[in-house]
Amino acid sequence: MRVQVAIIGAGPSGLLLGQFLGKAGIDTVILDRSSRAHILARVRAGVLEEGTARLAEAAGVGRRLRAEGLPHDGFSLAFDGRDHRIDLFDLTGGKRVIVYGQTELTRDLVEAREAESRLTIYEAANVVPHGFDGGTPHVTYEKHGVTHRIDCDFIAGCDGFHGASRKAVPQGAIRTFEKVYPFGWLGILADVPPVDDELVYANHPRGFALCSMRSRTRSRYYIQCAQDEKVEAWSDERFWDELRRRLPAHHAEAITTGPSFEKSIAPLRSFVAEPMRFGRLFLVGDAAHIVPPTGAKGLNLAASDVHYLATGLLEHYQDRSNAALDAYSGRALGRVWKAVRFSWWMTSMLHRFPATGDFDQKIQEAELAYLTHSRAAETVLAENYVGLPY
């Protein structure tokens, strides 16, 4: 088989890239080691920047997002037993975020690709990119015990942090930067109405908490937990009790509890690999960078990567120019590092660190006090939260 672009990974970044290229008449194949059912069942992020929503619309998959997504004009910072609302819409001149589950966006992209009869190969084992440092890029994979080869012009590695794409890069050609945070997030999904119309980020002596949602009837809640915590140790009752302890009284009293249908613990890390291009292989999204979820940037960064890469590939095929492809890594990393900084700052400001002394704790409290009494500081937060321009 031969295609113009082989895409490794059928998550939202790979599917979004495939959708953009397909609309332009560029032939693609998408490979993923997981099944279609598994991909559509994965629970991930749900806060989209306006830029991500615009990309979805441009790719032809924005109808359900606009109909069912929940526009949010702000969110609350809760500390010292009270709320302080960050008015995103006012501070940014009319920008907002949209709550729409990554699972739903992935479903929209999968269905659009299938409707256009574009090839996705699920349950492809041992996917490996080859020849990307020369003139014969290709991808091999195994299916039903048979090894297959796909020749192509370019390879897009959209296969996540643990995928094969970054691992295929020679060790001396890539540099990585990483910070592992000394805690995780214990999260649940429950079919109960959210505690508030907007997200609530809480800083509390017992640890961070986040009240989020996927719809008006489905809530996503998180609490900070120790790195070595076991999800089996947390009954629903224990989780709801701990969440209430970390929220201001009016929120704690308003929580509707119910059985969870998903419960997991996620470690927090910051990770960047650079560059993001190696010959004819391009890293996209989590294959190149990870941010803690505090700033809601993971999916949105993957979308901006897709924007830069799709622009470069379209220019290559339509205008016979490689300028945008050559600029891909630099453009993407410029935005990535700003988001890494923002996510680190939000994480540092809102979590309780095990080794924090009295001095550091006072600095954190001063940071929150300054932020919530300075329009200039609030504006910096709001501009980053709604998403920096591409």
The model's pLDDT over 299-333, given as tens digits with 9 standing for 90+, comes to: 999 999 999 999 999 999 999 999 999 999 999 99
Q: Catalytic pick from 72, 204, 316, 351? A: 72
The model's pLDDT over 136-188, given as tens digits with 9 standing for 90+, comes to: 999 999 999 999 999 999 999 999 999 999 999 998 999 999 999 999 999 99
Annotated catalytic, 143? no
pLDDT band at 355 (very low <50, low <70, confident <90, very high): confident
Please provide the average confidence, as pLDDT, over all residues in the chain.
96
Q: Structural domain boundaries of the chain?
A: 5-70+98-177+269-347, 181-268+354-386
> Is the CB of residue 138 less than 8 Å from the CB of residue 131?
yes
Four-residue CA torsion sign, 301, 304, 308, 313 = positive
The model's pLDDT over 207-222, given as tens digits with 9 standing for 90+, comes to: 999 999 999 999 999 9
Kindly list the distances between the CA atom of residue 186 and the CA atoms of 219, 224, 230, 261, in Å, as whole numbers in the listed order.
14, 6, 9, 14
- pLDDT number for residue 108: 97
Segment 40-48 mean pLDDT: 85
Q: Catalytic pick from 297, 307, 316, 351? A: 297
- pLDDT number for residue 243: 98
Annotated catalytic, 222? no
C-alpha–C-alpha distance, residues 109 and 120, integer Å: 12
C-alpha–C-alpha distance, residues 29 and 121, integer Å: 8
pLDDT of 74 above 80: yes
Q: Catalytic pick from 293, 308, 316, 328? A: 293
The model's pLDDT over 192-250, given as tens digits with 9 standing for 90+, comes to: 999 999 999 999 999 999 999 999 999 999 999 999 999 999 999 999 999 999 999 99
Architecture of domain 181-268+354-386: 2-Layer Sandwich (3.30)
- pLDDT number for residue 325: 98
pLDDT of 189 above 80: yes
Annotated catalytic, 181? no
> Is the CB of residue 27 less than 8 Å from the CB of residue 5?
yes
In this structure, which long-range contacts are made by residues 22-26, counting pairs with CB atoms below 8 Å and at least 24 apart in sequence? 22/113, 22/116, 22/118, 23/59, 23/60, 24/314, 24/317, 24/318, 26/313, 26/314, 26/317
- pLDDT number for residue 68: 95
3-state helix, strand, coil in the chain (%, to 5): 40, 25, 30
The model's pLDDT over 141-153, given as tens digits with 9 standing for 90+, comes to: 999 999 999 999 9
- pLDDT number for residue 44: 74
- pLDDT number for residue 305: 98
Domain 5-70+98-177+269-347 has CATH 1.10.580.10: no
Instruction: Give the number of residues written for the chain.
Output: 390
C-alpha–C-alpha distance, residues 370 and 27, integer Å: 52
Q: Catalytic pick from 222, 308, 328, 385? A: 385
- pLDDT number for residue 193: 97
pLDDT of 46 above 80: yes
pLDDT of 42 above 90: no
pLDDT of 271 above 90: yes
Annotated catalytic, 297? yes
C-alpha–C-alpha distance, residues 52 and 37, integer Å: 24
- pLDDT number for residue 120: 98
Q: Catalytic pick from 100, 141, 181, 201? A: 201
Segment 323-352 mean pLDDT: 98
Segment 6-34 mean pLDDT: 97
C-alpha–C-alpha distance, residues 364 and 35, integer Å: 44
Annotated catalytic, 72? yes
Q: Which residue has the higher pLDDT, 43 or 37?
A: 37
pLDDT of 45 above 80: no
